[in-house]
């Protein structure tokens, strides 16, 4: 749904965008933006893609004069040219404001002590967690990633009550806390977990081992950074700030706009950004807009927990598989733990998929292998090889975990 206010914000942005930005002058060449009079007209505008943003490297996206730009951030492009996003003072203030709202949605207050483990620097993570917390008035412990010994020492000595981390790093810390038996010395109450899609089972393990309530935070460097959506106590998707962004869900193949409740690719338009406004930006994240109101009473609409990335989609034996489906499937098999790894090979003219998974102590592994294999066949429709291993045997990562290894190409 597009509200009247959102439409006016968009119309207002469109009225000056060609003047302010060379990027959009080129992108909308021949498009009469003054003729956009309805949501339907807006939906005819071309999408922006990460490729477009890369082509604008280094500062082609800049839509405000030099004297108004106070900072840049850059997305960690895994391949080739990064994307540079310029921020005005107002953009930086807006980002802190919505990040503060995220903390408040999780019931975090100015009495909390927030340990920030995401990285600082060109990418947006650490500094966003910090400025939002400072605006709220909480005490920040700006650790950045790594150095587990020091993390745990500061967590204990500073009496951190909130841990901000990626899911894989939160898991690593949780396991280390359990191994050292120091949970009783800590004051952690909440975890704010960002930047990756993660399964329910992993969530329960981290929450269980840390003894905290976990909240999902969502965002991407191209659009402020983390902080544009946040889960609440009810753990039913994430509230997004519809006064700062407009969300659409599209079919990633046909690009048609899908109705509320249907899963597809999230497309975001910024409503207030000055340094680098984005219009219909394709995130490649798979989710849906949840219909109805949340039990928490928040007036903000929700997107569902991310299911995966459109580009994570893998095709094995002719079937489309999303990593989120594997998480869900493993969750249903008793005795199977949250960590897994998938290897896909092409041997003797056919695809072979091997799923390695960790098991709880004392389980019958060969029975679990049979169970997982059968479950996969029933749920996803293809035959795989299943290999059970002990807890801790699969690699942990302090960065985004890579779980699927496609060795076919």
Chain contacts with Zn ion (rule: CB under 5 A): 232, 234, 294, 296, 298
Nearer to Zn ion, 6 or 105 (CB): 105
Q: Least distance to Zn ion from the beta carbon of 226, Å?
A: 18
User: The sheet that has 350-359: what strands, in order across it?
Assistant: 385-390, 350-359, 336-347, 404-406
Q: Least distance to Zn ion from the beta carbon of 133, Å?
A: 21
Please report which helix (H) or strand (E) contains residue 324, including its range.
helix 323-331
Q: Least distance to Zn ion from the beta carbon of 98, Å?
A: 16
Cis peptide before 58 (omega within 30 of 0): yes
Instruction: Give the distance from CA 408 to its chain's centroid.
Output: 27
Q: Least distance to Zn ion from the beta carbon of 107, Å?
A: 11
Contact 143, 151 (CB under 8 A): yes
Residues sharing a CB contact under 8 Å with residue 265, sequence separation 6 or more, in sequence order = 249, 250, 251, 252, 282, 283, 284, 285, 286, 310
Beta partners for residue 353, in sequence order: 344
Distance CA 391, CA 279 (A): 45
Q: Least distance to Zn ion from the beta carbon of 312, Å?
A: 27
Nearer to Zn ion, 72 or 296 (CB): 296
Nearer to Zn ion, 232 or 276 (CB): 232
Contact 198, 397 (CB under 8 A): no
Nearer to Zn ion, 298 or 325 (CB): 298
Please report which helix (H) or strand (E) contains residue 173, including its range.
helix 167-180
Nearer to Zn ion, 105 or 269 (CB): 105
Please report which helix (H) or strand (E) contains residue 350, including its range.
strand 350-359
Q: Least distance to Zn ion from the beta carbon of 229, Å?
A: 11
Nearer to Zn ion, 177 or 294 (CB): 294
Q: Least distance to Zn ion from the beta carbon of 244, Å?
A: 17
Pairing of strands 113-116, 139-142: parallel
- Residue 55 φ/ψ, nearest 5 degrees: -65, -25
Nearer to Zn ion, 181 or 297 (CB): 297
Q: Least distance to Zn ion from the beta carbon of 234, Å?
A: 5
Q: Least distance to Zn ion from the beta carbon of 203, Å?
A: 17
Instruction: Give the distance from CA 48 to its chain's centroid.
Output: 19
Nearer to Zn ion, 42 or 215 (CB): 215
Strand blocks (E) in 109-212: 113-116, 139-142, 162-166, 190-194
Instruction: Give the distance from CA 340 to its chain's centroid.
Output: 20
195 closest CA partner among 172, 229, 162, 161: 229
Q: Say what the alpha-carbon torsion angle 319, 323, 328, 330 is, to the nearest 10 degrees.
A: 90
Q: Least distance to Zn ion from the beta carbon of 106, Å?
A: 10
Residues sharing a CB contact under 8 Å with residue 289, sequence separation 6 or more, in sequence order = 247, 249, 260, 261, 301, 302, 303, 304
Nearer to Zn ion, 92 or 296 (CB): 296
Nearer to Zn ion, 165 or 232 (CB): 232
Q: Least distance to Zn ion from the beta carbon of 214, Å?
A: 14
Nearer to Zn ion, 104 or 134 (CB): 104
């Amino acid at each position: 749904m597009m509200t009247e206010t959102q439409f006016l914000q968009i119309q207002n942005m469109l009225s000056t965008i060609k003047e302010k930005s060379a990027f959009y002058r080129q992108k909308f060449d021949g498009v009469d933006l003054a003729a956009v009079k309805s949501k339907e007209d807006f939906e005819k505008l071309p999408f922006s893609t990460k490729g477009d943003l890369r082509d604008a490297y280094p500062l082609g996206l800049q839509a405000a004069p030099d004297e108004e730009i106070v900072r840049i951030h850059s997305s960690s492009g895994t391949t080739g040219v990064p994307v540079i996003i310029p921020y005005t003072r107002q953009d930086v203030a807006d980002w802190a404001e919505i990040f503060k709202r995220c903390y408040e949605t999780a019931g975090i207050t100015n009495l909390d002590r927030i340990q920030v483990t995401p990285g600082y620097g060109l990418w947006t993570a650490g500094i966003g967690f910090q400025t939002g917390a400072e605006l709220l008035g909480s005490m920040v412990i700006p650790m950045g990633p790594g150095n587990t010994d020091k993390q745990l020492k500061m967590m204990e000595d500073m009496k951190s009550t909130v841990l901000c981390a990626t899911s894989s790093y939160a898991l690593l810390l949780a396991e280390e806390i359990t191994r050292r038996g120091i949970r009783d010395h800590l004051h952690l109450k909440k975890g704010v977990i960002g930047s990756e899609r993660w399964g329910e089972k992993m969530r329960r393990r981290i929450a269980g081992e840390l003894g905290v309530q976990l909240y999902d935070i969502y965002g991407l460097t191209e659009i402020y950074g983390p902080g544009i959506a946040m889960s609440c106590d009810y753990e039913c998707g994430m509230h997004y700030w519809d006064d700062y962004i407009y969300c659409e869900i599209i079919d990633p193949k046909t690009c048609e706009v899908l109705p509320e409740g249907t899963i597809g690719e999230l497309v975001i338009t910024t409503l207030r950004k000055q340094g680098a406004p984005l219009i219909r930006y394709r995130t490649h994240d798979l989710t849906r807009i949840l219909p109805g109101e949340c039990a928490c009473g928040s007036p903000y609409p929700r997107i569902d927990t991310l299911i995966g990335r459109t580009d994570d989609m893998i095709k094995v034996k002719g079937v489309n598989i999303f990593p989120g489906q594997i998480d869900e499937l493993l969750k249903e098999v008793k005795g199977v733990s949250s960590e897994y790894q998938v290897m896909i090979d092409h041997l003797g003219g056919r695809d072979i998929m091997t799923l390695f998974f960790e098991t709880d102590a004392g389980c019958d592994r060969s029975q679990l292998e049979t169970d997982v294999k059968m479950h996969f066949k029933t749920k996803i429709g293809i035959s795989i090889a299943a290999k059970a291993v002990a807890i801790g045997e699969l690699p942990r990562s302090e960065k985004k975990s890579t779980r699927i290894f496609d060795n076919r190409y």
